[in-house]
Amino acid sequence: MDSKLALYIVKRLLLAIFTVFLIITITFFVMKAIPGGPFLSEKSPSPEVTAALEAKYGLDKPVFEQYITYLKDLLRGDFGPSIKNRGRQVIDLIMEGFAVSAKNGLIAACLAIVIGLVLGALAAVFHDSWIDKTIMVLSTAFVAIPSFVVATLLLLIFCITFPIFPANGNVSGGLVLPIISLSLSPMSYITRLTRSSMLDVLGQDYIRTARAKGVSNTKVIFKHALKNAVTPVITYVGPMIAYILTGSLVVEKVFAVPGLGDFFFSSITNRDYPMVMGTTIFLATLMVIMTLLSDICYKIFDPRVDLS
Amino acid sequence: MKKDSNALPKKNPLSLQLDLSSFEKATDEEKFMQQRMRESTTFFKDGMRRLRKNKIAMICLCVLIAIVLIITFVPMFYPYDYSTQLGITPGQPTDSSYKNLKPFEYGETELKRIEAGENIFPHIFGTDSLGRDYAIRVIYGARISLVVGLFASIIVLIIGTIYGSISGYYGGKVDLIMMRIVDIIYSLPDLLMIILLSVVLNKTLNLEGTFLESLGVGMISIFIVFALLYWVGMARLIRGQILTIKQQDYVLAARSLGASGGHIIRHHMLPNCISVIIISTALQIPSAIFTESFLSFMGLGVSMPMPSLGSLASEALGGIYSYPYRLAIPAVAICLIVLSLNLLGDGLRDAFDPKLKK
């Protein structure tokens, strides 16, 4: 079994590495296809200045040579200089924004997992009661509604109509709404996932045995049932991180949080191409790693899963 | 000579012909037992019956029909246009009183005409910062969103079905290679790639002079992106279906009669996975609408002055303190459309293919 697991991990790892390589390649060549280059703006500099700038950033070389250089730089963690923020490295800007986004994202992810598990377990335990029905209606709604719509509606309700929270993500208390709007959809998904796997588990023989032996109800639910019901949730952690990261792109715009999404947004409108490339590659790599980890964890935690 | 109808032809001693005299006729009572108690029902009718019992799905269907009726017919008689800036008439000074009207307010010239006894259609949701009637912009936005959702799903449907059925039917090495490609595309972070491609296509596509120009670059790039990335889920699903159907005896029979691969796929396999195809297409529409509004919200979707629900929400964000309803209306509209499409899709799945339930 162990050699099978190792083989699976190696296979997934190779696929992940290839995916990251593919993402870098696609990003690079697709961005190179944009006509005009990054120095084209309203007040175009003279041809000499453009040529000098291109020589400085290595843009005068053949595209393939630029690609090899870019790959080599990436291996050293160098995403090149930002074009609109003169004198700043892309990687520094990304790290600066990511520090903010990662904190929010982590809180949102933890919130989603904890509340999602509790609500899902509740819905399963009180199956077919009004608690179950309310939870299911709400979670169905929140799974479907995109995070930026949730964010705008929350902004309208809690900042404009009833000014409880500040609309600006910079001040204290301003991060409450962005975190809630990021976590609502994954939370609802986890709730549904936990509910269905919990219902499945609660019908199994060993739960009846535990009950027959006189184990208290809370202990049966939390120790015997929930432990086995959480495994499907593990597979969702990877996609959830991806969802939260892309969701943060727009949620940060809505609440003016100075995170990575905000940088990404302004770099798209500013045509800061190295920044767009760097952020895309950075986020995509992160997502691939997260999906890989959650898939491998799932196989390790649940020995029943078929590895073939 | 008249032939007796009950008379038997001469029996050949070696034939297996039955002797009718050893049978007796069925009585009326026995005949009645053979009658069908209920009309036999087709697969489609049965599914529709089950769907009709699902209250939530029916409510969603009604909401969707209402929305579709509104976005098709209201623009026909609505007196305002989504791109006309009211108060700007050539040869006359611009009337800025039309900008940022609250709901049911009128511009100055309109007020004068009302005093003169004219009947003027109210601006139900007011106007935007450029003096365009907001209600018609929302209606057009919803129209764009639904059209994008529908066409993107059709693209996904066509590519996914062809790819999945070929991969599933031919199996072996073909299947292996085709599915590896799917795996790789599947592992790409879709929204990020979409944003990237939209950024680039917005800059590179040149549609001037073609009939696609009226659609706008943003819309075309959304379709291209869907055609490139989103079909993989559908392809996997169809392949799985084809793999099970391939084992059936009627496929073997068709093949032994000399039917070609294409014929078998088209006439024997695809009709048998039609329910899966319909259901996943129905669930694809809201996800396409989600992507479109997401991109438009980021400023990468439809091009100006064409509105989309996402871009309307994005524009309204600037004036949120003065005009909060302008953000609320498109946001609620997106919720309504996406939610009812999702619930209807779930209902369809339960009605037509209970096995597919997660």
Lowest-confidence segment of A195-209, B138-152, B157-171, B178-192 by average pLDDT: B178-192
Q: Are residues B140 and B125 in contact, defined by beta-carbon separation less than 8 angstroms?
A: no
What average pLDDT does the structure give for chain B?
Answer: 78
Q: Which residue has the tokens 């109808």?
A: B5
Q: B317 touching A, CB under 8 A?
A: yes
- C-alpha distances out from residue B235 to A252, B151, B153, B203, B230, Å: 34, 17, 13, 30, 9
Chain B interface disruption, residue of A19, A145, A152, A181, most B CBs within 10 A: A152
What pLDDT band is residue B357 in, cutting at 50, 70 and 90?
A: very low
Torsion-angle region of residue A194: left (phi > 0), alpha (psi -120 to 50) or beta?
A: alpha
Structure tokens at A241: 């991180």
- Residues 6 or more apart whose Cβ sits within 8 Å of residue B69: none
Q: How far apart are CA A151 and CA A170, in angstroms?
A: 16
Is A35 close to B193, i.e. CB distance below 8 A?
no
- Binary contact (B187, A167; C-beta < 8 A): no
User: With bands split at pLDDT 50, 70 and 90, how would you rate the model's confidence at A115?
Assistant: very high
- A212 CB-contact burial (10 Å; exposed 0-12 / middle 13-18 / buried 19+): exposed
Q: What is the 3-state composition of chain B as percent helix, strand, coil, each rounded to the nearest 5?
A: 70, 0, 30
Beta strands in chain B (DSSP E): none
Predicted confidence band of residue A171 (pLDDT cuts 50, 70, 90): low
B204 shares contact with chain A (CB less than 8 Å): yes
Can you tell me the distance from the alpha carbon of A122 to that of A139, in angstroms, rounded to the nearest whole number?
Answer: 13
B70: distance to nearest CA of chain A, Å? Answer: 22
> At a CB cut-off of 8 Å and minimum separation 6, what does A188 contact?
A116, A138, A139, A140, A141, A142, A143
- For residues B311 and B91, what is the distance between their CA atoms, to the nearest angstrom? 31
**Which B residues, 139 through 198, put their C-beta within 8 Å of a C-beta on chain A?**
183-184, 187-189, 191-193, 195-197
The stretch A196-202 carries a mean pLDDT of 86
pLDDT of residue A19: 86
Residue B341: pLDDT band (50, 70, 90) is confident
Percent of chain B's residues with pLDDT above 90: 1
- Residue A95 neighbours by CB under 8 Å, 6+ apart: none
Q: Which of A30, A145, A268 is facing B338, going by the closest CB pair?
A: A145
pLDDT computed for residue A308 by the predictor:
46
Residue carrying structure tokens 């999945």? B164
Nearest to A149 among B187, B196, B334 (CB): B334
Q: What is the mean pLDDT of chain A?
A: 81
pTM, two decimals, is 0.76
Compute CA B146 distance to the chain's CA centroid, rounded to the nearest angstrom.
8
ipTM: 0.76
Identify the residue whose tokens are 């719509």.
A149
Q: Which residue has the higher pLDDT, A253 or A36?
A: A253
The model's confidence at residue A43, banded by pLDDT at 50, 70 and 90, is: low
Note which residues in 179-238 of chain A have CB less than 8 A from chain B: 196
- Angle between helix axes B134-170 and B274-297 (nearest 10 degrees) is 140
User: How does A174-193 read in b/e, with b if 16+ C-beta sit within 10 Å?
Assistant: bbbbbbbbbbbbbbbbbbbb
In sequence order, what are the residues at sequence separation of 6 or more whose Cβ sits closer than 8 angstroms to the Cβ of residue A100? Answer: A257, A258, A259, A260
Half-sphere exposure of A143 (CA within 13 A, CB side): 18
Using alpha carbons only, what angle is made at residue A144 by residues A139 and A147, rounded to the nearest 5 degrees? 100
Task: Round to whole Å and give the CA distance between B238 and B269.
Answer: 10
Residue range A16-29: mean pLDDT, rounded: 86
Q: How far is B237 from chain A (nearest CA, A)?
A: 19
> Given pLDDT bands bounded at 50, 70 and 90, which one contains residue B358?
very low
